[in-house]
Amino acid sequence: MPIAAATIASYAPWGNAELAFTVSGTSVTMDSTTGNPVAAPVTLEYLAALNLSAPDWQKVEGVDTTLYRCNGRLLSPSTLDPRITNGSKAAALINGYAGRFELVFDLAMDVDVYSTIRQSISGTFRVVGGKQLPPPPPPAPPAP
């Protein structure tokens, strides 16, 4: 996810989560299959400070115990776009692990409260693909 390194560094060590939500944009394209106009998708990226907690469910046949609960605050930008709604899914990189984040709003807090504070964010996270390794260092220049 291409959040600028300077942005991530400015929030270190708290900015442990990169979230990329795909929403409908304002431009329109034609669907190649149906010929109908459709809104072109836009990716909105967020840096957040999220705390993860493992599920406390008992391992029972058929129960999904692979989700982590997430709670924290948005860092940059500090509020969610109105097109991102309860249940929206995002590609996520949290604590170096790639996966999917699903937004679950705190329904007890009034949306107007978010106008002056960094918006709290909560949801679930499922690791998909494991730990992302940092890129290798560039090769040394050849000796003269």
**33-60 pLDDT, tens digit each:** 998 988 888 999 998 888 888 777 677 7
Render pLDDT for 103-131 as a digit per residue (tens, 0 to 9).
887 666 555 555 556 677 888 888 777 67
In a domain, 143, yes or no: no
**136 found inside a domain:** no
Answer for the pair 8, 47: CB distance below 8 angstroms, yes or no: yes
The count of domains in the chain is 1
Identify the domain containing residue 15 by its residue range: 5-28+37-56+64-131
Angle at Cα 53 formed by Cα 49 and Cα 57, nearest 5°?
155
Residue 16 lies in a domain: yes
List the one residue out of 13, 34, 12, 16 whose CA is nearest residue 92: 16
pLDDT tens figures, 9-39? 555 566 788 899 999 888 888 888 998 988 8
In a domain, 23, yes or no: yes
Q: Is residue 105 part of a domain?
A: yes
